[in-house]
Amino acid sequence: MIITIEKPAARCPLCGDSHPPGDEGRGNAVPCDALRDAGDAGARPPGVPIRVQAAYVEARQALRADAPALAIGVLQWLLSHLAELRGVNPALTLAAKVAALTDAGLVAKTVRRELIEQALANTPSPETAWALMTLAEHALARAYLRRSGA
Eight-class DSSP state of 29: B
| Centroid of chain to Cα 41 | 18
Mean pLDDT for the chain overall: 79
Give the predicted TM-score (pTM) of the model.
0.70
Q: Is residue 80 part of a domain?
A: yes
pLDDT at 150: 44
CA atoms within 13 A on the CB side of 27: 7
Which position has the higher pLDDT, 90 or 7?
90
Q: Is residue 8 within 8 Å of residue 28, measured between CB atoms?
A: no
Distance, in Å, from the CA atom of 94 to the CA atom of 116, rounded to the nearest integer, reads 11
Counting the structural domains of the chain, the total is 1
Backbone Cα Rg of the chain: 16
Q: Is residue 115 part of a domain?
A: yes
Q: Confidence band (pLDDT; 50, 70, 90) for 50?
A: confident
Q: Is residue 63 part of a domain?
A: yes
Q: Is residue 6 part of a domain?
A: no
Q: Is residue 14 part of a domain?
A: no
Helix, strand, coil percentages in the chain from 3-state DSSP, rounded to 5: 55, 5, 45
Q: Is residue 79 part of a domain?
A: yes
Distance, in Å, from the CA atom of 126 to the CA atom of 129, rounded to the nearest integer, reads 5
Q: Is residue 127 within 8 Å of residue 116, measured between CB atoms?
A: no
Which residue range is the domain that position 134 belongs to? 32-145
pLDDT digit string (tens) for 101-135?
A: 999 988 888 888 898 999 999 888 999 999 999 99
Q: Is residue 10 part of a domain?
A: no
* Burial class (CB within 10 angstroms; exposed 0-12, middle 13-18, buried 19+) of 47: exposed
pLDDT at 149: 45
pLDDT digit string (tens) for 15-42?
A: 556 655 544 333 344 456 665 666 666 6
Q: Is residue 17 part of a domain?
A: no
